[in-house]
Amino acid sequence: MAEMTRRQFLRRSSLAAATLAATPGAAYSQVVGTGGGFSDYRALVCVFLFGGNDSFNMLVPRSDAEYAAYAQARQNLAIAKSDLLPISPASAAGTQFGLHPSMAGVQSLFASGAAALVANVGPLIEPTTKAQFMNRSVRLPPQLFSHNDQQDQWLALKGTTPGNTGWAGRMADLLQGVVANQRMATNASMFGNNLMQAAQETVAYVMGPGGPLQFEGFSTNPGDLLYEQRLAFQRIIEADYGTVYERAFAEVQQRAIEAADTVTAAIETAPPLTTVFPQSQLGQQLETVAKLIAVRDDLQMQRQVFFVAAGGFDSHDRQNEEQPGLLGGISNSIKAFYDATVELGVADSVTSFTQSDFGRTLSSNGDGTDHAWGGNQLLVGDAVFGQRVYGEYPVLEIGAERDVGGGRMIPTTSADQYAATLAAWFGIDDADLDKVAPNLGNFAVRDLGFMI
């Protein structure tokens, strides 16, 4: 077989590097510092719901007065009280709640104490009232109600400050010396590049839903034609290049191959799970995360943040038809993943949590909802102080004190507080939490108390 030319090498390796998103660098860029490491293992799993989840139909008040306000505000979108799956929060102060009828898996987790919810949380720079919003006397996240901008606010917590790092990326930078012996990056994504895991010094390991992406056209099986092509590629990488740029580029490709091989080999040794995951994109992503957690000792992992995601939540129309499947899919996938962590003996070391662009309007646009602001988020794991609803659940009434128009609710809890509470459990010192969540100092409560 003819060997690749240097031009072919550069073109192919550029494509491969883009696909891998510089994943190998994570395993190497974090080998700095001489920290003693952690004595335990902990992982955070972000489940991002792209499009803006209508979470006021995910968590619904069942108390008579609160439900009546909800039903009137939601018009043709309200779920019948008799169809809601009842939950009994220990912290509800008399208010009764129910979950969407398709979320039986989450209902069971909540009842067992392995799940909690945070009410009306969203991006804020500082505490905000309706009067302040209306008279523009408070700092607000830019471009409210915009998909891309509010996704960035959740993932980066940047407020009005320009920046290209995310809060999980900043955590990885802070911990890089402590976890210097890890053979895989602290941050790993099954859903492509994302701002949450972007960092200044460390690099996220980006893989496909089913695991590491191998370089296109390569095989690891000796004798295959594509294996010979890999050897040819290897010879090009190991050539003596004359410029620092060529040498650096070749080193990146070498590390990419080694990282993919290392993680793939580790996953192949993972014990089979009896837990059955849904045959969905999210189910596949979470199954891969479970396999990676299963081989944490082989990869010498102490701290990991995984990013998985599902789309379809931009419910401008057909919400009544499509929301049951969307929320049911989330519930079933997260329940299966929790069951897998129990099977692996790490349910108290792994915490899953949701984020989404924004909540949606209480009012109907006829067949769906429009972009809004605050919404409800879900937490799952045995380290969660569960069976509770945290934060202040607003009165779901058009024109109420938190409504800035059409049922767009001003958050009563900030995304910075939400992230900082997770970061503290993950191992970030209190003195460094403001680096992770830059707006945290504007809020009286630094820790929401939902982690044990």
The region of weakest confidence among 90-104, 177-191, 270-284, 339-353 is: 90-104
Per-residue pLDDT tens digits for 133-172: 999 999 999 999 999 999 999 999 999 998 899 999 999 9
Q: Could you give the percent of the chain with pLDDT greater than 70?
A: 84
* C-alpha distance from residue 378 to each of 39, 143, 168, 222, 262 (Å): 28, 25, 18, 47, 33
The region of weakest confidence among 9-23, 63-77, 297-311 is: 9-23
Taking residues 169-182, report their average pLDDT: 97
Query: What's the per-residue H, E or C state across 217-245?
Result: CCCCCCCCHHHHHHHHHHHHHCCCCCCHH
Q: Measure the CA–CA gap between 408 and 379, rounded to whole angstroms.
A: 23
Taking residues 118-132, report their average pLDDT: 98
The region of weakest confidence among 2-6, 372-376, 396-400 is: 2-6
Check residue 12 and give its pLDDT: 39
| 419-424 long-range Cβ contacts below 8 angstroms, 24+ apart | 419/157, 419/167, 420/446, 420/447, 421/447, 421/448, 421/449, 421/450, 421/451, 422/44, 422/351, 422/353, 422/451, 423/167, 423/171, 424/451
Q: Which domains does the chain have, with CATH numbers?
A: 42-209+277-442 (3.40.720)
Q: Measure the CA–CA gap between 157 and 104, rounded to whole angstroms.
A: 32
Q: Could you give the percent of the chain with pLDDT greater than 90?
A: 78
Taking residues 276-284, report their average pLDDT: 98
**In degrees to the nearest 10, what's the CA dihedral of 171, 177, 178, 180?**
110
Q: Is the pLDDT of residue 121 over 70?
A: yes
Per-residue pLDDT tens digits for 48-78: 999 999 999 999 999 999 999 999 999 999 9
Q: How confident is the model at residue 218 (pLDDT cuts 50, 70, 90)?
A: low
Per-residue pLDDT tens digits for 320-370: 999 999 999 999 999 999 999 999 999 999 999 999 999 999 999 999 999
- Mean pLDDT across the chain: 89
Check residue 255 and give its pLDDT: 63
Residue 373 contacts by C-beta under 8 Å, 6 or more apart in sequence? 122, 123, 144, 145, 358, 359, 404, 408, 409, 410, 411
Check residue 240 and give its pLDDT: 75
Residue 311 contacts by C-beta under 8 Å, 6 or more apart in sequence? 49, 50, 51
**378 compared with 10, residue with greater pLDDT:** 378
Distance of alpha carbon 379 from the chain centroid = 11
pTM (2 d.p.)? 0.88
* C-alpha distance from residue 245 to each of 10, 14, 248, 343, 383 (Å): 12, 13, 5, 47, 46
Query: Which amino acid is located at 36 in the chain?
Result: G
The region of weakest confidence among 174-178, 202-206, 210-214, 371-375 is: 210-214
Taking residues 312-320, report their average pLDDT: 98
Q: How confident is the model at residue 91 (pLDDT cuts 50, 70, 90)?
A: confident
- Kindly state the tokens that stand for 320: 């009544």
Q: Is the pLDDT of residue 13 over 60?
A: no
Q: How confident is the model at residue 20 (pLDDT cuts 50, 70, 90)?
A: very low
Cβ-based burial of 223 (10 A; exposed 0-12, middle 13-18, buried ≥19): exposed
Taking residues 119-143, report their average pLDDT: 98
Place of tokens 């998909």: 147
Longest dimension (CA), the chain: 77
Q: Is the pLDDT of residue 416 over 70?
A: yes
Check residue 94 and give its pLDDT: 73
Taking residues 196-213, report their average pLDDT: 93
**10 compared with 142, residue with greater pLDDT:** 142
Q: Of 368, 364, 273, 277, which is closest to residue 320 (Cα–Cα)?
A: 368
Residue 3 contacts by C-beta under 8 Å, 6 or more apart in sequence? 232, 235, 236
Q: Measure the CA–CA gap between 277 and 293, rounded to whole angstroms.
A: 15
Per-residue pLDDT tens digits for 248-275: 665 655 666 677 888 989 999 999 999 9
Taking residues 3-15, report their average pLDDT: 40
Q: For residues 103 and 331, is the Cβ–Cβ distance under 8 A?
A: yes
Q: Is the pLDDT of residue 441 over 90?
A: yes
